[in-house]
Amino acid sequence: MTDIRAICGSVPLIPVLTIEDVDRAVPLAQALVIAGLSVLEITLRTETALNAIQAVRAACPDAVVGAGTLRTAEDLTRCVDAGAQFGVSPGAPERLMDAVDGSGLPFLPGCASATEAMRLADRGYSFLKFFPAQAAGGTAMLTSLAEPLSGIEFCPTGGITIDNARDYLALPNVVTVGGSWVAPKALTKSEDWKGIENLARQAVSHLTQ
């Protein structure tokens, strides 16, 4: 898939993963994919992130592996070289977006206000990351944006939990949500892959009822 909305819209939840040990990347990804969460965002918050993207791409053909927390044009280049199938940013700085426009990489730029969303729509981006979702107004903010910004859809991320995810998904301008609760650090460090698989299964069941 080359369309960012199609990629993200194929799952109700995109796990946002911060991987500190590359050896844990593949079993973590496999647990999530088995549970039905095949679109994964590996954030550039650790030194192992790029190696983790490469490892998961090689070992998990059923996964769609993206890179998150892109901040610069250089980040974009490194992620493309690592094999990322899509990119995600918490914002949309001009230099990064100029690089994205010429890259061909499916991309989810971030926004936190109506003005930012409108600027990105002017550039041709109608599917956006709303971040930080809870801190930026949550479901009330997105509800307020639905009519004046008709045609723009969102993937809220930041403060999304099993308790509020369905409230976001019920909104007409929300396609999917991003969250990290299905891969908690404690379970990852203890390599409890079955526990993570169970959390992911519960999330899929809860969000698709």
C-alpha distance from residue 155 to each of 127, 171, 174 (Å): 8, 11, 6
Choose the catalytic residue: 41, 47, 189, 194: 41
147 is catalytic: no
**Rounded CA gap, 131 and 51, in Å?**
26
- Secondary element (H or E) of residue 110: strand 110-111
129 is catalytic: yes
Choose the catalytic residue: 47, 129, 189, 194: 129
**Rounded CA gap, 174 and 169, in Å?**
6
C-alpha distance from residue 13 to each of 53, 56, 97 (Å): 19, 18, 25
**Rounded CA gap, 189 and 196, in Å?**
11
Extract the tokens encoding 31.
């647990």
**Contact by Cβ (8 Å): 176, 14:** yes
Residue 72 three-state SS: coil
List the catalytic residues.
Answer: 41, 129
